[in-house]
Amino acid sequence: MEKTVNKIERLKPVRVNFDRMPMIRSGSRGAVFIDLNETAISDATKKLTMPAEKLQSTIAATQAAGWTVGLCSDSPGALLDQWGKKYGMNGSTIGENGLMVDSVPLIEWSAQQQHIERAITQWARSQQIPMLPERQRAKEFGGTRPQSAGIAFGESRHCSMSIFTFTADGRPAPEIITLLAQELEQRYGNALAIDPAAAIGWLGIHALPDFRAMKRTTLKMIGERLRQNGKRLYMIGNSVSDVVGAPELCTDMMVANASAEAKAQSCITLQEPLTAGVIEGLKKITTEQI
């Protein structure tokens, strides 16, 4: 494989349209959102770190106390919906770093997405790397992965893209991710955020350069809407992107495994990590031990 050099290509600018954002579901007291990866589940295993029944019963108690419980994550909205339904959540879903709210995209990005897919396909062909067919799009959340070598696009994303690379026996292919990230950065410059995780054979492509700020921006707008109706907003997470940074609009709760920077900026640091921390946070909200 060889690194190719490309002239910077211009993509149509992206504008976030918050007028599209639907009213989220909220209970009589307000809404709680939970981050997924490395908060509710472990990144390493893509699984809960506590019994599912314990999480389900805690969610049910929080909802019975007048709160909705939903998910707010980088992951695709459709997959978050499936996960939330599995554990009995009744709240709204915020996916793709704040750009997808209850299945409604806040940007129009389909043309740019198609352009990028074509560019990646052409690059893969030039490098003699197989592109896996549409029917083999990779499932996120540790779902079934294609058992053949090549590059696969992730499924269900509308405001971002995910790329997976595989060897013939289904293992990640870090070298491909490294080269592809370099190619995309040279091709598109600062028009996109290229977020490679070569060790796991994954690469994220985000429509906005400062993509991590969008989750906070969306939550701030939701928090303002709830406050106007006498309700409250909580966010349970593990990273700086989960910290809204406006205590009057949202109470940020970080699980124990959160980064030091996130803990320093948040309202509350929980004592337990991962799923146990989520359960701890929900119990505090339910019993008003804040």
What confidence tens digit (pLDDT) does each residue in 144-155 have?
A: 666 678 999 998
Whole-angstrom distance, CA of residue 150 vs CA of residue 177: 11
What confidence tens digit (pLDDT) does each residue in 61-94 have?
A: 999 999 999 999 999 999 999 999 999 999 999 9
Q: What is the DSSP letter of 94?
A: E
Answer yes or no: is 4 within a domain. Answer: no
Both 190 and 256 in one domain: the answer is no
Which one of 145, 180, 206 terminates a domain? 206
Both 143 and 283 in one domain: the answer is no
3-state helix, strand, coil in the chain (%, to 5): 35, 20, 45
pLDDT at 143: 60
Q: Which residues span the domain enclosing 262?
A: 26-105+211-287
Both 48 and 168 in one domain: the answer is no
Maximum alpha-carbon separation in the chain: 59
Answer yes or no: is 16 within a domain. Answer: no
Answer yes or no: is 1 within a domain. Answer: no
Answer yes or no: is 44 within a domain. Answer: yes
Both 79 and 132 in one domain: the answer is no
CATH of the domain at 254: 3.40.50.1000
Nearest-5° Cα angle at 103, 97 to 216: 25
Both 31 and 165 in one domain: the answer is no
Token pair recorded at residue 163: 């790329």
Both 176 and 216 in one domain: the answer is no
> How far lies 20's CA from each of 91, 131, 176, in Å?
18, 34, 37
Mean pLDDT calculated for residue range 255-261 = 98
Whole-angstrom distance, CA of residue 205 vs CA of residue 10: 15
* Beta strands 104-105; 251-254: pairing state: unpaired
Mean pLDDT calculated for residue range 30-35 = 99
pTM of this prediction? Answer: 0.93
Answer yes or no: is 93 within a domain. Answer: yes
Both 174 and 32 in one domain: the answer is no
Both 133 and 186 in one domain: the answer is yes
pLDDT band at 221 (very low <50, low <70, confident <90, very high): very high
- The overall average pLDDT reported for the chain is 93
Closest CA to 141 of 129, 121, 157, 117: 157
The tally of domains found in the chain comes to: 2
Closest CA to 21 of 81, 97, 94: 94
Inform me whether the pLDDT recorded for 238 exceeds 60.
Answer: yes
Whole-angstrom distance, CA of residue 140 vs CA of residue 20: 26
Mean pLDDT calculated for residue range 43-68 = 97
Inform me whether the pLDDT recorded for 5 exceeds 50.
Answer: no
Closest CA to 26 of 226, 210, 242, 168: 226
Residue type, 178: T
pLDDT at 44: 85
